[in-house]
Structure 1
Amino acid sequence: MKMKKFNYYQPTEIRFGTGRLEELGEVVARFGQNCLLVTVPEIPELSELFRRAKNILKDKGINVVHFDGVIPNPTVEVVAKGANLAKNNQVEVVVGLGGGSSMDTAKAIAVEVTHPGSCWDYIFSSESQPTEKTLPIIAVPTTSGTGSHVTQVAVVTNPQEKYKSALFNNHLYPRVSIVDPELVVTLPPHFTATTGFDVFAHAFESYINPHGSPYTDMTALEAIRIVARYLPQAVKVGSDIEARTWMA
């Protein structure tokens, strides 16, 4: 059978492994001294992670502005609040720390800060598209499954139009993604299971996609194998760093 033609493009620098969060300050300093940290609202379970991330940044001389207004299925209003905060503080780089919603919000903010109008004006179906003016984005995932830390996609919702869409542009690829399995050790079993199964869902739909390629088939099958082997253990024993590392 003749192999089909395909393209592959992945510009994100991936730093993977336990303890890699400590490199966040060094990474951000490459792109600027004023940073917007984008997260969900602070709760006791997340306070230590947020404090640690801020301290790592400050130790490298980074000025940190914390936007903790992320919600599930981020809206254009949430993005606008984050973008206004970034503009008022002359932010030069945006860090998305958390799950898919935090990273998608960070990407949309990086666009809205540097372009006229709303992020909604730059969804994939619009004539206007993000440009090289988009602020550098650093992604630090704390769950499995979303894939937002290595994609050019930011999903946003417009409540007024009752419509959910996405920005889809190569300028939204994170410059660097720090994948530290230690950050998911405290993820509760329910969220470990649901976000872990999300990995399986993405891999399965990729494998059965008629527009797939030998490369995507290879990675999809390996992802399915990893989920089948390590997700049950990660759910059962959250502190199992080997299972967490494979699922990260």
Structure 2
Amino acid sequence: MLNNFVYEQTTKIIFGRGKINEIGQIAKQYGKTALLVTTPASPATKSLYEKVKNQISEAGVKVIHFDGVVPNPTTESVNEGTKLAKDHKVEVVIGLGGGSSMDSAKAIAVAAINEKEAWDYLYFKEPQPTKILPTICISTTSGTGSQVTQVAVITETETKTKSALFNNLLFPRIAIVDPELMVTVPKHITASTGFDAFTHCFESYLNVGGSPYTDAIALEGIKYVVKYLRRAVNNPEDMEAREGMAWADTCGGLAIANAGVTLPHGIGMTISGHCPKVMHGESLALTYPAFTRFTYPHAVEKFAVVGRIFNPELLNISDEKAAEACCEEIDRLLKDIGMWLSFKEFDVDVEVLRTIADRSHDLPDYKANPVIADTDEIFHQLMEGYERNVSVC
């Protein structure tokens, strides 16, 4: 018997090589003044930023450029972008970059047209926003899926709290997914964001609130990660691999938008709140080996399915053995892409890990896992990441 479910997705996805060239004509559909939201320009991004601004301007739309996005976006940076949007009375917000830029764009689009700051509209607060400026998201990495989700993740620096706006209003009107924009992404960021794409697919597949629809999308994404992530990391200019990972990332976003994530994401958000120098994908890699071994006995069939995607030879053994082997296959992926990490590498001490464990139930993601982990179990998983032997790579 199939579970009852609802699937909602209102974002128009424009996918393919060269699709960035449509941004001017797309932007002018939503207004005459646009806020472009990005990180500060670097040698790798400067020409892209200028190209996008020129195309929007040539379409008759005035461009205001907010380039103050920071990794793990903060309330301070979002508030700064919101002020700029209000001062210039922008009509559409365009997020260009990775998850930080796209999440910042969505949060700014909320705060720019409602009475309160973005932080006041977190998923559990009332009242929720009633309107939002149209948003266009252009992804330049393959991992966060933010271009097709109703989520914007931000951090309150003072309390070291990383949380999220979650409201269907936040679905971008348009997502442009152009694999050609990912070619210049450095190797480690390709690996970190690519592993994030895998976890989105994997966790939505495991999520107790999932559905046949999200399962199908998640498994599609996992197949593409298995086929293309190592290639994208080892050969950044492999356009077939970049295209495959762009699709895997999009699948992951579509899946979590309706199923959600599980235990590792709640822990990972808390890690980033306390250790902002740890990228989101890194925070997931730090806990995944312990998480999979804790969880697989309670989701044997699904772990077996994923294990056999990684390694078809597992078709010849029992589900129980294939599920256990899935954990090893995920370990191998982490090692192959340079993501077999330890907390010691980031100078995170045990006392901080205890604090992270104690706050890991702040977000509800752990409740969607096939088995519930208390804070002591979470501390145990964190400690396995602390003591991990990275020399095996």
Q: Extract unaligned runs of 5+ from structure 2.
A: 247-393
Do structure 1's residue 82 and structure 2's residue 105 form an aligned pair?
Answer: no
CA shift for structure 1 position 55: 0.9
Deviation at 1:162, TM superposition (A): 2.9
- The equivalences for 1:127-142 within 5 A come to 127-132=126-131, 134-142=132-140
Q: Secondary structure at the match of 2:190?
A: helix
Please give the secondary structure, in 2, of the residue aligned with 1:45: coil
Unaligned runs of 5+ in 1: none
* Structure 2 CA distance for aligned equivalents of residues 160 and 128 of structure 1: 23
CA apart distance, 1:74: 0.9
Give the drift of 1:117.
2.2
> Hey, what does 2:163 align to over in structure 1?
165
Task: Encode CA deviations 1:48-100: one digit per residue, 9 max, x unaligned.
Answer: 11011111111101100100000111111111110111111111000000000
Where does residue 16 of structure 1 map in the other structure?
A: 15
1:220 aligns to what SS in structure 2? helix
Higher relative contact order (CA 8 A, sep 6+): 1
| Residue type at the aligned position of 1:235 | V
State the match for 2:189 in structure 1: 191
Q: Runs (4+) of structure 1 moved beyond 2 Å? A: none
1:236: how far off?
Answer: 1.5
2:228 corresponds, among 230, 236, 245, to: 230
**1:67 is matched by which residue type in structure 2?**
F
RMSD: 0.9
Q: Secondary structure at the match of 1:44?
A: coil
- Write out per-residue CA displacement over residues 128-171 of structure 1, whole angstroms, 9 at most, x where no aligned residue: 11112x10000000011101100110011112333221111111
Equivalent of 1:219 in 217, 220, 224: 217
**Which one has the bigger strand percentage?**
1
- 2:28 counterpart residue number: 29
> Given residue 210 of structure 2, which amino acid in structure 1 is its aligned partner?
G
Higher-Rg member (1/2): 2
TM-score (norm. length: structure 2): 0.62
**Distance in 1 of aligned mates of 2:200 and 2:245:** 14
| C-alpha distance in structure 2 between counterparts of 1:82 and 1:148, whole Å | 18
Q: How many Å separate the matches in 1 of 2:103 and 2:74?
A: 10
User: Within 2, Cα distance between the matches of 1:216 and 1:240?
Assistant: 28
Equivalent in the alignment of 1:58: 57
Whole-angstrom CA distance in 1 between matches of 2:7 and 2:153? 22
- 1:155 alignment counterpart: 153
Aligned partners of 1:60, 1:12: CA distance in 2, in Å?
A: 22
Q: Deviations over 1:91-142 (max 9, x none)?
A: 100000000010010011111111112111111111111112x100000000
Equivalent AA in structure 1 for residue 133 of structure 2:
L
* One-letter amino acid matched to 1:162: K
Secondary structure, in 3 states, of the residue corresponding to 2:136? strand
Distance (Å, rounded) in 1 between the aligned partners of 2:6 and 2:93: 28
Q: Shift of the alpha carbon at 1:237? A: 1.4
Q: CA deviation at 1:221?
A: 1.1
Is 1:46 matched up with 2:45?
yes
What is the TM-score with the length of structure 1 in the denominator? Answer: 0.97
2-structure distance, mates of 1:98, 1:15 = 16
% identical equivalent positions: 55
Q: Does 1:105 align with 2:99?
A: no
AA at the equivalent of 1:99: G
> Across the two proteins, how many residue pairs are aligned to each other?
246
The amino acid of 1:116's aligned partner reads E
2:123 match: secondary structure: coil
- The one-letter code sitting in structure 1 at the alignment partner of 2:124 is S
